[in-house]
């Protein structure tokens, strides 16, 4: 495992193991460097199933982790929390894109602000996102628009980070 990258993107399908691998990587770096672990959550508990998912993710993190909830203004959270000696785990960009679209935000501008905040922060940053463009073409305009916006965001972030890991079946392959 290479730990010298400051910015790492974990991308893959749903339930592929992205979050688990990103958390393990962040914890390994913290163990080696003494860095402070900060989890930046983008999920919003709109229903019981999502509340259960969030609770499961929270139970996977021990007392070393501090959690910040940032469902909309993720760039500001990165800038605020991204100091020297910190390791940020952002989970996940796909939910963040959903939140932006539901709030009718400028997704392109938000993506640019995200990339700018990643570049400006001094912290190590791990980002988790879903690859949503490898399946069937969605049958409705909203779902196609979401797929396109998420794909554009993933491309933008992948170009900006130092390392990218493609995750499938709990295994990762370094693609950048």
Q: Where are the beta strands (DSSP E) in the chain?
A: 7-12, 36-41, 65-69, 86-91, 124-130, 163-168, 171-174
Q: Is residue 1 part of a domain?
A: no
Strand order through the sheet with 124-130 = 65-69, 36-41, 86-91, 124-130, 7-12, 163-168, 171-174
In this prediction, residue 136 has a pLDDT band, given cuts at 50, 70 and 90, of: confident
What is the pLDDT, as a whole number, of residue 92? 94
End-to-end CA distance of the chain: 14
Handedness of CA 140, 141, 145, 146 (dihedral sign): negative
The predicted pLDDT at position 62 comes to 87
pLDDT at residue 58 tops 70: yes
Residue 25 lies in a domain: yes
Average pLDDT over residues 107-135: 96
Any idea what the CATH number is for the domain that residue 74 is in? 3.40.50.300
Counts for the chain of helices (H) and strands (E), in that order: 6, 7
Query: Is residue 139 included in any domain, yes or no?
Result: yes
At residue 3, the pLDDT reads 67
Of 57, 99, 100, 127, the active-site residue reads 57
28 occurs within a structural domain: yes
Phi-psi region of 103 (alpha: psi -120 to 50; beta: other; left: phi over 0): alpha
Asked if the model's pLDDT at residue 1 lies above 80, the reply is no
The proportion of the chain whose per-residue pLDDT surpasses 90, expressed as a percent, equals: 81
60 lies in some domain: yes
Q: What is the pLDDT of residue 151?
A: 95
DSSP secondary structure letter of residue 36: E
Rg of the Cα atoms in the chain: 15
Q: Look at the chain and report how many structural domains it folds into.
A: 1
Element (DSSP H or E) covering residue 151: helix 141-160
Range of the domain at 149: 7-174
Give domain status of residue 150, yes or no.
yes
Residue 145 bears catalytic tag: no
Identify whether 2 is part of a domain.
no
**Average pLDDT for residues 108-123, to the nearest whole number?**
97
Residue 148 lies in a domain: yes
pLDDT band at 157 (very low <50, low <70, confident <90, very high): very high
Average pLDDT over residues 141-160: 95
Question: Pairing between strand 163-168 and 86-91?
Answer: unpaired
* Cα→Cα distances 130→13, 80, 134, 139, Å: 5, 25, 10, 19
């Amino acid at each position: 495992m290479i730990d010298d990258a400051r910015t790492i993107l974990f991308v893959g399908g749903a339930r592929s193991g992205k979050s688990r691998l990103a958390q393990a990587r962040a914890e390994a770096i913290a163990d080696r460097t003494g860095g402070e672990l900060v989890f930046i959550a983008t999920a919003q508990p709109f229903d019981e199933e999502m509340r259960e998912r969030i609770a499961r993710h929270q139970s996977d993190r021990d007392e070393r982790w501090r959690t910040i909830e940032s469902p909309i203004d993720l760039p500001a959270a990165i800038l605020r929390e991204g100091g020297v000696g910190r390791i940020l785990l952002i989970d996940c960009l796909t939910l963040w894109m959903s939140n932006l679209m539901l709030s009718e935000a400028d997704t392109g501008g938000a993506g640019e602000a995200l990339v700018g905040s990643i570049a400006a922060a001094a912290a190590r940053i791990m980002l988790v996102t879903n690859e949503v463009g490898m399946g069937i073409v969605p049958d409705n305009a909203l779902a196609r628009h979401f797929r396109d916006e998420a794909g554009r965001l993933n491309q933008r972030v992948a170009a900006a980070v130092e390392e990218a890991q493609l995750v499938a079946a709990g295994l990762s392959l370094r693609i950048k």
